[in-house]
């Protein structure tokens, strides 16, 4: 059975959704850079070992990333899943795990890479927003996209309502992407991820709807 290490920084709702999906994998450990992350308790409730490595106790990014690599490699994971992990990772870290490091981002990449995605989507006036699961490369939020889910932006939305609508879809697509990885269904050709044996949605999503 393949093994996964999950990195978090916060409440851990994506982590919870991944655990609920009962994937055919061993979740070896959950590591947080934030010792008070709510997600640590989520993992502990399910008997998964946890570790906090507080980035504030390191002189710089390189040293923190080195400690993180050491902690992860103890488990020799097949896949490292960033689930709301809010630290930029050094090139050294990203290259060490190239091809087996994935992230979820709350926008339809490449739109709105970086922070405050929902606020920026509202300010840009987009009608469709969403989330993306992607392989991590050294370009911030820029690696090959595995799966995306789109949601409408409604006229009365604020950041909170839009974030909540997107989050429901984050919880849907992350477990799917991990399952495909575990089943060796993913391949990357010219920056495009192909998912073997999974149909693409062929419908057109319009918002507002044409009459």
Contact status: 143 vs ligand GRF (CB under 6 A): no
CA 27/CA 81 separation, integer angstroms: 10
Q: Does 104 bind ligand GRF (CB under 6 A)?
A: yes
**3-state DSSP helix/strand/coil % of the chain, to nearest 5:** 35, 25, 45
Between 70 and 115, CB nearer to ligand GRF: 115
Spell out, one character per residue from 58 to 97, where the chain touches ligand GRF: x when CB under 6 A holds, - when not: -------------------------xx-------------
Least Å from the CB of residue 177 to ligand GRF: 13
**Identity of the residue, 20 or 73, whose beta carbon is nearer to ligand GRF in the bound complex:** 20
Contact (Cβ atoms closer than 8 angstroms) between residue 186 and residue 193:
yes
Q: Which of 160, 138, 149 is nearest to 90 (CA)?
A: 138
Q: How far, in Å, CA of 114 to CA of 43, rounded?
A: 26
11 part of the interface to ligand GRF, by CB under 6 A? yes
Q: What is the DSSP letter of 55?
A: G
Nearest residue to 99 via CA among 187, 208, 7, 192? 187
Which window, 104-112, 152-160, 189-197, 198-206, contacts ligand GRF (CB under 6 A)? 104-112
The C-alpha atoms of residue 58 and residue 65 are separated, in whole angstroms, by 9
* Burial of 60: CB neighbours in 10 Å, binned 0-12, 13-18, 19+: exposed
**Pairwise CA distance, residues 149 & 143, whole Å:** 17
157-186: which residues touch ligand GRF (CB under 6 A)? 167, 170
- Annotation says 105 is catalytic: yes
Our CB check for ligand GRF shows the closer of 51 and 66 to be: 51
- Report the site for ligand GRF in 25-44 (rule: CB under 6 A): 39
Residue 96 or 118 with smaller CB distance to ligand GRF: 118
Minimum distance from residue 25 beta carbon to ligand GRF (Å)? 18
Q: Select from 23-31, 92-100, 102-110, 122-130 the region that touches ligand GRF (CB under 6 A).
A: 102-110
Shortest distance, CB of residue 163 to ligand GRF, whole angstroms? 7
């Amino acid at each position: 059975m393949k093994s996964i290490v999950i990195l978090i920084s916060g409440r851990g709702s994506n982590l919870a959704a991944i655990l609920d999906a009962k994937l055919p994998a061993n979740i070896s450990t959950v590591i947080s850079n934030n010792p008070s992350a709510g997600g640590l308790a989520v993992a502990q409730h399910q008997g998964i070992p946890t570790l906090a490595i507080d980035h504030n106790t390191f002189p710089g990014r390189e040293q923190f990333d080195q400690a993180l690599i050491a902690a992860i490699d103890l488990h020799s994971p097949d896949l490292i899943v960033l689930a709301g992990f809010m630290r930029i990772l050094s090139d050294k870290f990203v290259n060490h795990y190239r091809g087996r490091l994935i992230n979820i981002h709350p926008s339809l990449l490449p739109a709105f890479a970086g922070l405050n995605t929902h606020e920026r989507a509202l300010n840009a006036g987009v009608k469709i927003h969403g989330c993306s699961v992607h392989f991590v490369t050294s370009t911030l939020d820029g690696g090959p996209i595995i799966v995306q889910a789109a949601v409408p932006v409604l006229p009365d939305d604020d950041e909170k309502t839009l974030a909540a609508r997107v989050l429901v879809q984050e919880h849907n697509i992350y477990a799917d992407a991990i399952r495909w990885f575990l089943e060796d269904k993913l391949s990357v050709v010219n920056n495009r991820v192909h998912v073997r044996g999974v149909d693409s949605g062929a419908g057109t999503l319009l918002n507002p709807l044409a009459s």
